[in-house]
């Protein structure tokens, strides 16, 4: 029986992962972004400011790829470059939260509402278990990505 539970869990996890990717690709298309740019924008929005080098370290993207990402998102006014007065070679990236929320907010507001309704069907203990799984699985995925990006 344990084998079926593990197999069922893996299948559910894989289905969740696939559905998440497909949903984010659909969201990105709807708002005129590539799926990668959409996800990287979400990462950048977590920071008040961030350097291109920090984005590269967080994502594993090359500095050239990060420059392209910044160019595309800046063109859509979703972030801006700010040069450091002391060293004009150094650039800080400032996310434009207002424009990003105008673009993505309506989609995520509806998703958040439905997610909260789903969460309300679980007990506190179940929610804590699910949260623990997501946090620990996230660490495993980050470790795997780091290992693959820095062999």
Chain centre to alpha carbon of residue 3 = 32
From the list 61, 87, 88, 67, the residue with the least C-alpha distance to 79 is 67
Neighbouring residues of 38: CB distance < 8 A, sequence distance ≥ 6: 24, 27, 28, 31
- Contacts made by residues 99-104, CB under 8 angstroms, sequence distance 24+: 100/41, 100/45, 103/31, 103/78, 104/27, 104/31
Inter-residue contact 80 to 94 (CB < 8 Å): yes
Query: Any idea which residue has 């709807």 for tokens?
Result: 30
Question: Is residue 123 pLDDT above 70, yes or no?
Answer: yes
Distance CA 59, CA 101 (A): 22
HSE (side-chain half, CA atoms, 13 Å) at 63: 6
State the pLDDT at residue 8. Answer: 93
Over residues 20-77, the pLDDT tens digits come to: 999 999 999 999 999 999 999 999 999 999 999 899 988 889 989 999 999 999 999 9
Inter-residue contact 13 to 2 (CB < 8 Å): no
Tokens matching residue 72? 């595309």
Domains in the chain and their CATH numbers? 2-120 (1.10.10.10)
What is the band of 84 on the pLDDT scale with cuts at 50, 70, 90?
Answer: confident
Handedness of CA 100, 106, 107, 113 (dihedral sign): positive
């Amino acid at each position: 029986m344990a084998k079926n539970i593990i197999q069922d869990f893996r299948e559910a996890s894989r289905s969740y992962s696939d559905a998440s990717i497909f949903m984010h690709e659909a969201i990105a298309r709807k708002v005129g972004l590539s799926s990668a740019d959409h996800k990287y924008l979400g990462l950048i929005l977590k920071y008040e400011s961030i350097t291109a080098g920090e984005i590269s370290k967080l994502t594993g993207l090359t500095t050239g790829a990060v420059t392209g990402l910044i160019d595309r998102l800046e063109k859509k006014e979703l972030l801006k470059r700010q040069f450091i007065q002391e060293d004009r070679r150094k650039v800080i990236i400032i996310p434009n939260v207002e424009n990003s929320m105008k673009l993505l907010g309506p989609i995520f507001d509806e998703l958040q509402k439905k997610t909260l309704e789903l969460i309300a069907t679980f007990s506190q203990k179940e929610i804590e278990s699910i949260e623990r799984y997501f946090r620990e699985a996230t660490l495993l995925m980050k470790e795997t990505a780091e290992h693959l990006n820095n062999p």
